[in-house]
Structure 1
């Protein structure tokens, strides 16, 4: 089998042009080649295929039977290559189907996910979303394509990843409406005296609370430990336990579960919620649309 490396595209273009013009001079002119270059290239083609390919008859270069058989193959190959080089990837959210794998924290599922799904339903009806919980493996998942986009507080990504700020959030406390001891406001003392619902997980943002309390020499009394923030409001609403959680999630959960949002009596830094992706996805049209849409959602909310 003769190797493709022995033939370059210019030889095939010349072959196609001679087949169409039946004239070496015109083929040379159309391809901006000199006559000696055309003669040399035709010699290489003849040697490769073991056939004269073209013979001069009455002033024209007439293709041999082998050249006639080859012409359709060569013309199709050139057309395919031209179409490949002209390809411009596109994405139409109104009609294209796509599955996006989005990693987010439990707080993201409360605060972020509903907005995304509502927007997709209106402008991209064929888009599907597979929500994955952010873990310590998120960098590898983004790199290997197991996750398309990460939403949340993800501080440990290196230069191979791109991050865009969506919004800033802080922390607040949840307390039941008729709590017997916590009335108008929480004090530092009551914050330490009351038992807490503690979220204990290896997730990306959950450790912020405990780390900053330790820095201030403060400690919470543990009433119960849960693996995520989603069930916290239910526990608070049915007990005298209090809980500390991100501010936006606190407001949404309070509205749904009939509990109060109270200002933290201790210092707690805010944090940035970002969308993060691997650099290899930077120019994918569908991924660009996803990032732009998510950024617009939270730029207007």
Structure 2
């Protein structure tokens, strides 16, 4: 099929080339031979009158024209997938669909067990890929590489629809033998202590750290980690403080020699949201998943902070 003399089949090859910047990997991605992909690149170069990819040392880099094509081409393919290639119906018990979610280890440890339990009973053939969050997660959503982001509302880009799933509060976690664990944890003691903070990516700070910066609170940061789960483990044997999500802290206190205290400085609630691509709002599978996520959040809230799945919840229903 051609449009303005362009074979539209070449768009898939172009997208793979612009994403992988490697002919062999691009060929593997779309199940073509390397020779077929090289031929596709030659035809694309002729059509656009541009090299698109140029060899620089041992790797290939995009030309300025190719950089300008990268996002529009991906957007076209996402639109096609969402409107033309989408299945007309979604039957959970008959589906073997793979859902790809971009989640933090916080979400993995709190919400995901409830979601997977519910999905297992309703749609045993459905599979999940839980992918780690990276800097600029919205790019993965826009490029159609993931189905959903589960991130704080404050970080949701305005271009795509989002819905708040649940709220989270913060608390302070301390080693239970620390002098700071004795008596009231005042704002003065809090500010005077060393802190362990989460820095999940190169570009974005954790929401808790973002709140602190917004409030003009400057802490003495002595340790940073990429993991939201880690601070409760890293402060043992020290007089440091970690400001953590309450649900994670409640899980950790069951097995670690730590204690929990209120945060002695004002810190807002976190609104954890799910976000999907604007072209995929009508996707019946995603509609089912979004409803299931809300059901999972309700089950998590009913269990209470730090609670594990009960025997009745975790036992498959025959």
SS in 2 for 1:297: helix
Residues 1:161 and 2:147 are matched in the alignment:
no
Deviation of the 1:103 alpha carbon: 0.6
Of 180-189 and 101-110, the range deviating more from structure 2: 180-189
- Whole-Å Cα distance in 1 between the matches of residues 216 and 156 of structure 2? 30
Indicate how the Cα distance of structure 1 residues 171 and 121 shifts in structure 2: closer, same or farther if over 3 A, else same: same
Distance 2:295 2:98 in 1: 20
The two structures, once aligned, show a CA RMSD in angstroms of 2.4
- In terms of Rg, which structure is larger? 1
Alignment partners' CA distance in 1, 2:116 and 2:204: 23
Which string of whole-angstrom CA distances, capped at 9 and with x for unpartnered residues, describes residues 93-145 of structure 1? Answer: 22311111001122212222222122222222212111112233322211221
Query: Deviation at 1:233?
Result: 1.3
Structure 2 match to 1:122: 121
TM-score after normalising by structure 1:
0.64
**Runs of 5+ consecutive residues of structure 2 not aligned to the other structure:** 1-85, 302-318
CA deviation after TM superposition for structure 1 residue 178, in Å: 2.3
Query: Which whole-Å CA distance do the structure 1 matches of 2:297 and 2:202 have between them?
Result: 22
How do residues 41-56 of structure 1 correspond to structure 2 at under 5 angstroms? Answer: none
CA distance in 2, matches of 1:204, 1:151: 18
- Residue matched to 1:290: 289
Q: TM-score, normalised by structure 2?
A: 0.61
1:65-119 C-alpha deviation (Å, 9 max, x unpaired): xxxxxxxxxxxxxxxxxxxxxx982222223111110011222122222221222
Partner Cα distance (2:178, 2:99) in 1: 43
Which residue of structure 1 aligns with residue 271 of structure 2? 272
Q: Which residue of 2 aligns with 1:106?
A: 105
- In structure 2, the CA distance between the partners of 1:135 and 1:240, relative to structure 1 (3 Å rule), is same
Gaps of 5+ in 1: 1-86
- CA shift at 1:237, angstroms? 3.0
The equivalent residue for 1:198 is 197
- 1:213 maps to 212
1:191: Cα distance to partner?
0.6
Any idea what SS the aligned residue of 1:181 has?
Answer: helix
Q: 1:204 to 1:256 in 2, by over 3 A?
A: farther
Paired residue for 1:179?
178
**Distance in 2 of aligned mates of 1:246 and 1:212:** 13
Output the CA distance in 1 between the equivalents of 2:215 and 2:141: 35
- Count matched residues: 215
Q: Deviations over 1:159-217 (max 9, x none)?
A: 54111111111211111222233214311111122221122233898443334334544
Q: Which residue in 2 is equivalent to 1:96?
A: 95
Change (3 A) 1:201 1:267: same
Contact 1:106 1:229 in 2 (8 A): yes
Alpha carbons of structure 1 residues 283 and 200: separation in structure 2 relative to 1, 3 Å: same
- What is the CA distance between 1:244 and its match in structure 2? 0.5
Shift in alpha-carbon separation, 1:216–1:139, aligned structure 2, 3 A: closer
Please give the secondary structure, in 1, of the residue aligned with 2:224: strand
2:244 is the alignment partner of 1:245: yes
> Following the alignment from structure 1 to structure 2, what is the Cα–Cα distance between the partners of residues 128 and 297?
16
